[in-house]
């Protein structure tokens, strides 16, 4: 009977380790999501200070896309 208890205890420890690992992974995903959101928000705030840059970047991107689509097919 002691052998059975030892196996059960080692299995329980393994399960606890696995649970901790999964919990840590979830925490890290959550933390990365928060950091990503904060970075995006900061970038949006910085860009809103210079609306002319947003317009210039949009026009440049639209212009380069226009050139790509105007190429003749080979």
In degrees rounded to 5, what are phi and psi of residue 71?
-70, 140
pLDDT digits (tens, 9 = 90+) for 20-67: 999 999 999 999 999 999 999 998 888 777 767 667 777 778 877 665
Is 60 exceeded by the pLDDT of residue 10? no
- Measured between alpha carbons, how far is 64 from 61 in angstroms, rounded to an integer? 5
Q: Are 47 and 53 in contact (CB under 8 A)?
A: yes
- Measured between alpha carbons, how far is 32 from 7 in angstroms, rounded to an integer? 37
């Amino acid at each position: 009977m002691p052998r059975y208890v030892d196996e059960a205890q080692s299995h329980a420890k393994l399960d606890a380790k696995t649970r901790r690992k999964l919990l840590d992974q979830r925490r890290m995903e959550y933390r990365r999501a928060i950091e990503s959101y904060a970075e995006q928000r900061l970038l949006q705030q910085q860009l809103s200070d210079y609306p002319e840059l947003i317009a210039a970047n949009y026009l440049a991107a639209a212009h380069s896309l226009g050139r790509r689509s105007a190429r003749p097919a080979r």
